[in-house]
Structure 1
């Protein structure tokens, strides 16, 4: 941890705001002080901060996070500016310049967007800027309903080639049960999923202002550690101690190695917008040889999707075996299914000779 030269820190809504909405200045200032101390040691920092929707509640006269999507987006629109303004002012007192980065899934799943996101982060860090990242809640739909910033932080950590991910919560680590009940114990180290076998993981915090919970934090830890990035999970008041390398909270040890960030997003941050139905031979080719999916192995399609969308690859038994970025629209699939690339090129033109899903745009489920 002390050797990390680039760190991603994620803080949740409940750690920054009151239950009634609005930013708690003393909580934000405490976090900023910890981040500034890390920066003073020469460590690059990326902050993934929730709190936009929660920060917009009080100005809009809302007592709790609204359930309606339009109201959530309105709160995010009001709150995001307030949140970043406070971060900017607080960090400026330490001589740190901030930059806002709002992301959606497409920004990293699609090749051109991913390349641009990577270059933007690289340039911000090169210029000494501390990027403040959030999902683009004002315009996003799926992210607000299903996404969470824990998962976003794990994927950003991989995108920026971080050495460490620190998840700050309203509890001081991962317990083997409800930490409010007697007899539960803190897990100081998690080295594999086997260490989580007997752990009862809770859900959204009692404050009611966030979307995540311990489930999303453990999933984020799996994503990051599976890509070779260790994760520390602790409470926001322990941020300074965690970033200083003190043995605090729960340390999730790295279990895997780095792989293309787009594929992490495809596996963990998307849902199939439709399905391609495969014959048994195509399933074997995709699973066994990691081959591209050709039209000859496709028997049909379900749902509505367009070229470039993520789709699930489903075997004859109805089980999704992979997810990939499709190269054709759904309405084109019926005339391609079961036919060889040579036949399609001769009848429809050279552009139909390409793979239905290229192996570089495919992940196994």
Structure 2
């Protein structure tokens, strides 16, 4: 067994994401038999000593059948209506299933704003920590009934990766209807006529060269592309990831012997730098010249006003902004020390010619992350 699989198999705390297709179908809604089987596997892992947080998709899927809908809705209002019904169904199903093991379930509904806003971020973290301290099982889902298109995680794979870091988890397990990461669509031959091959372990971006990832199915909003993005997000922040089929949940949670694993970066990002890089909402952007790109991205220096060629957006002091190169590519993110009006007066000017109150860096090195 590889070191990565061993780390996941013996992780003290894990986040387990359950995909919509693993517990719902269009005709009957929630599949209680499959959900019970997943709870059995989760209970076995918890009984072995691990803390487990569940990120459960399926709210919209669970509401489709009771409302008499024939397919997953595409408009926001109907999605929210289905979620309002499905969240009750889903929470009750998880609670009933875990009650077989005399465990209490706590539902945690989050929006993207709860993670991007520092105060909400801290409150969510405290809630998850307290639920674990009280030996309750936290079941997390995106609050689809109130989330707008502008304030969505996009899919619960990304939510699970953010929760893994938020909770300080030692591993993330993504369970859905796919059994691992393949070089292409395993249902179809590749351009060379050969079938796609499963990738056992991803140690870095170079292992993903040539990999083709598709979008989601009829019940979910994710697909392999979102799972791959979530796995890279989590592993980049220092959390190893296992991607496997929900039907193999027992093997995945018992010994991490199935699916594809993603190695974590050696140094885990601090909570603040993770928030800046992955969770915070961007309120604008600064365009950097080549010299500033070199200083900030390669030498990890603070961003000075002389190296900025343009500023966009109505940001305020303490907001997160994107750092762009001349081609418009995002090269980093940072917390600005000035509002947009002051920044506009500083652009391209050397520090020594600015008024005394504007001589600090636009963004200090401690508040910068490289993308």
2:243 counterpart residue number: 233
Contiguous gaps of at least 5 residues in structure 1: none
SS at match of 1:38: helix
Whether contact under 8 Å (1:137, 1:143) holds in the other structure is: no
Deviation per residue, 1:41-82 (Å, 9 max, x gap) = 121100011111222223333222222223322322332222
User: Is 1:84 aligned to 2:94, yes or no?
Assistant: no
Per the TM alignment, residue 132 of structure 1 is displaced from its structure 2 partner at its CA by 0.9
Check 1:209–1:361 CA distance in 2 against 1; reply closer, same or farther (3 A cut).
farther
Return 191-200 or 336-345, whichever deviates more: 336-345
User: Is 1:134 aligned to 2:155, yes or no?
Assistant: no
2:163 counterpart residue number: 156
Q: TM-score, normalised by structure 1?
A: 0.86
User: Is 1:362 aligned to 2:339, yes or no?
Assistant: no
2:255 counterpart residue number: 245
The 2-side partners of 1:358 and 1:263 are apart by 13
Return 17-26 or 307-316, whichever deviates more: 307-316
2:205 counterpart residue number: 193
User: Is 1:34 aligned to 2:41, yes or no?
Assistant: yes
Per the TM alignment, residue 286 of structure 1 is displaced from its structure 2 partner at its CA by 2.1
Per the TM alignment, residue 329 of structure 1 is displaced from its structure 2 partner at its CA by 4.3
Check 1:3–1:317 CA distance in 2 against 1; reply closer, same or farther (3 A cut).
closer
Deviation per residue, 1:288-332 (Å, 9 max, x gap) = 442333445444322344444432122345443212233444455
User: Is 1:100 aligned to 2:79, yes or no?
Assistant: no
Check 1:340–1:92 CA distance in 2 against 1; reply closer, same or farther (3 A cut).
farther
Deviation per residue, 1:161-201 (Å, 9 max, x gap) = 22221110102222233222463333233333333324332
SS at match of 1:55: helix
SS at match of 2:157: helix
The 2-side partners of 1:343 and 1:110 are apart by 35
2:3 counterpart residue number: none
1:165 counterpart residue number: 172
The 2-side partners of 1:173 and 1:260 are apart by 29
User: Is 1:287 aligned to 2:293, yes or no?
Assistant: no
1:123 counterpart residue number: 130
Check 1:228–1:112 CA distance in 2 against 1; reply closer, same or farther (3 A cut).
same
Contiguous gaps of at least 5 residues in structure 2: 1-7, 190-194
Return 293-302 or 14-23, whichever deviates more: 293-302
Alignment RMSD (CA, Å) = 2.8
Return 65-74 or 293-302, whichever deviates more: 293-302
The 2-side partners of 1:33 and 1:305 are apart by 48
Per the TM alignment, residue 238 of structure 1 is displaced from its structure 2 partner at its CA by 0.8
The 2-side partners of 1:165 and 1:296 are apart by 42
SS at match of 2:34: helix
The 2-side partners of 1:131 and 1:251 are apart by 24
Whether contact under 8 Å (2:115, 2:280) holds in the other structure is: no
The 2-side partners of 1:65 and 1:357 are apart by 44
1:180 counterpart residue number: 187
Check 1:300–1:228 CA distance in 2 against 1; reply closer, same or farther (3 A cut).
closer
Q: TM-score, normalised by structure 2?
A: 0.85
Give the aligned length. 359
